[in-house]
Structure 1
Amino acid sequence: MGKLTAEAIVERALEIGDAEGLDAVTIRRLATELGVTPMALYWHFKNKEQLLVGMADHLVDGFAAKPADERSWQEQLRDLVEGLIRTLRSYPCAKNVLEQVDQTEVPSFLKVWDQALGLARTAGFSTEESCLISKYLLQSAIAIADAPVHLRPGRTPDEVQEIVRVKRLGLQSLPVDRYPHLVEMAGPMVEGMDPDFYDSFGVDLVLSGIEALARSRA
């Protein structure tokens, strides 16, 4: 192969993480698959911790946040959250990657975070409130992106379907007098729902709280 690049390494690492989980991502495994020695990878990433940061930076870097414009802060914040969700949804392992790194060390994530902070300040929130709003908002986007469409790494669709069936039956078999709502809603609870509805409702739920709080401060 040609000259080994950091981008080629993290792209292959993300492919393995998506298919088999992050435990399967090792320097030795990557070196073998890329046809190089482990030392060639250490030139770019000294350890797995640095590799995970590189993976996180690459997956978030696919989202190009729009610069501030004349639209309302509400519209810009929605754009930010929905765009981040769409980007992260492309990687089944995205949530696990971002949970295992110090997000302040991920340049592309810092860009998104900075924009969220600026929009919160534009909405009239204090610096402390803006810090919390940006954290809750971005973590919500990561959580929403993780579901409902991803299959567990290393499992076939048939295996996942069987796991879902067993979970649904387990909830439906609970004592209905003690857990009436869990029994009634066992289907959508474990089988998931339309991804578009899942995303739009999740974003509405998060942003409506921020908007209502901003109105109360006006």
Structure 2
Amino acid sequence: MEQVSHSDRVRGSLSAAEIVTAALGIAEAEGADALTFRRLGTALGVTPTAVLRHFRDKDDLLLALGARLLDEALSQVDLDEPDWRERILSLCRATRRSFEAHPRVALLVANRTLRRDAEFQAADLVIGAVQEAGLSGREAASVYRVVADTALAWTAFRAASRTVDADAMRRDGYAWSSDYLVLPTGRFEHIRSVAGHLAEVDQEDQFELALGMLLDAVAARGARARRDRNE
């Protein structure tokens, strides 16, 4: 990352958005431990206290990084999409792309409550969609959490996979077409009954399958809720 000298920086010209951009670059290139206000100050050509004027501590900065990733996702979503299911799918897919593009940061923020406008926009989108599907009240709130947690958990899982040694990941993938195919007769019979398919399944996009199953359940719950209200 290009560094700016203190003399090149006009006092008061530093923005929160600029800090977040620099922090993303440092975290992805050097890891979370390198993300210090001193390191940011050096990269931005300011004193650490200049960064502290925008973020009270490192955790506050991390939440802002998470919000940046969500902002990137939301920019890819058609908020006027008429189909509730497609709106949720679009947001989940975009969130996955955004977070997987920054795996080290994703691991730090995927399980956090960001308390930023981007999170509020995403939550409002999903809650509105599940309400359109027929759910309301506590059930709508609960289903929103399930949808959000499922998408973010999968995203964190994939981000974690990207930080593992590539050879180790290839060996893990090869296990489906090797170790699982040679299990001893008389043991693990349920596995043996589908062993020939496991390598094929490993090549599929389980994220899409998980979301599809989840949204099928939302649709079924919504239809049941409508029937109950009409009885």
Q: How many residues align?
A: 207
Q: 2:66 aligns with which of 56, 68, 91?
A: 56
Picking from 155, 166, 169, the partner of 1:160 is 166
The structure with more radius of gyration: 2
Residue identity in the other structure for 2:99: L
Structure 1: runs of 5 or more not aligned: none
Task: Return 25-34 or 116-125, whichever deviates more.
Answer: 25-34
Shift of 1:46: 1.6
Stretch deviating more after TM superposition (32-41 or 114-123): 32-41
Q: Relative contact order: is structure 1 or structure 2 higher (C-alpha 8 Å, sep ≥ 6)?
A: 1
Specify which of 213, 224, 230 is matched with residue 216 of structure 1.
224
Q: What percentage of aligned pairs have identical amino acids?
A: 23
Which residue does 2:210 correspond to in 1?
202
- Map 1:1-218 → 2, pairs under 5 A: 1=4, 2=9, 3-62=13-72, 63-64=74-75, 65-68=77-80, 71-99=82-110, 101-103=112-114, 105-148=115-158, 151-152=162-163, 159-162=165-168, 164-165=170-171, 172=179, 176=184, 178-179=187-188, 181=191, 184=195, 193=203, 197-218=205-226
Question: Quick one: distance in 2 between partners of 1:5 and 1:43?
Answer: 10
1:134 Cα offset (Å):
0.9
Q: Deviations over 1:164-185 (max 9, x none)?
A: 5278669938964554639947
What residue ranges of structure 2 are gaps of 5+ in the alignment?
227-231
Q: Please state whether the residue corresponding to 2:134 is helix, strand or coil.
A: coil
Letter aligned with residue 88 of structure 1: F
CA RMSD of superposed structures (Å): 3.2
**TM-score when scaled to structure 1?**
0.76
Q: TM-score, normalised by structure 2?
A: 0.73
Give the Cα separation in 1 of the matches to 2:94 and 2:175.
36
Decide which moves more: 54-63 or 2-11: 2-11
Tell me, yes or no, if the aligned pair for 1:10 and 1:51 is still in contact at 8 Å.
yes
Any idea what SS the aligned residue of 2:162 has?
Answer: coil
